[in-house]
Copies of this chain bind each other. A is one copy, B any other.
Amino acid sequence: MKKNELMQYSCPLGKAMSALGSKWKPIIVLVIKDRKLRFGELAVRIHVISRKVLTDQLREMEADGLVIREEFKEIPPRVEYSLTEKGLALLPILYLLEEWETKYHVYDPDKVKECGVNSKKIKKTVV
């Protein structure tokens, strides 16, 4: 997502969407939600995402002030992610979005496919 192109027309909304407008960020926020998680735990919980992309997303979210990254200088390395106040403040809005989707949901088999977490399979069959 080309962030810089988002900042136009409706500025605050543009910026908001640049902070969470990616595929993964809202989901990452929901996954971290209430407890610190290590990188590996995140990777397992959202294992449809490659580790590289997960890293990228987390870095951007850190830069956007959504998550806190704590690196422990240990062997083996340990890194824990948690939500900032800003990230936490996003939760109610995400819940509203879920409600909204649930309420106005029209079942469209072409779009819904499956909701399994094992997307490898989905991806292959869908694409």
Contact residues of A with B, CB < 8 Å? 1-19, 21-23, 26-27, 30-31, 45-46, 48, 63-65, 85-86, 89-90, 92-94, 96-106, 108, 111-117, 119, 122-123, 126-127
Do A13 and B48 contact each other (CB < 8 Å), given the known contacts A7-B112, A23-B6? no
Closest chain B residue to A46, Cβ basis: B9
- CB pairs A–B below 8 angstroms (24 shown): A4-B113, A4-B126, A5-B48, A5-B122, A6-B23, A7-B112, A7-B122, A9-B27, A9-B45, A10-B27, A10-B31, A12-B98, A12-B99, A12-B101, A13-B30, A13-B94, A16-B97, A16-B100, A17-B26, A18-B111, A21-B26, A65-B106, A85-B104, A96-B96
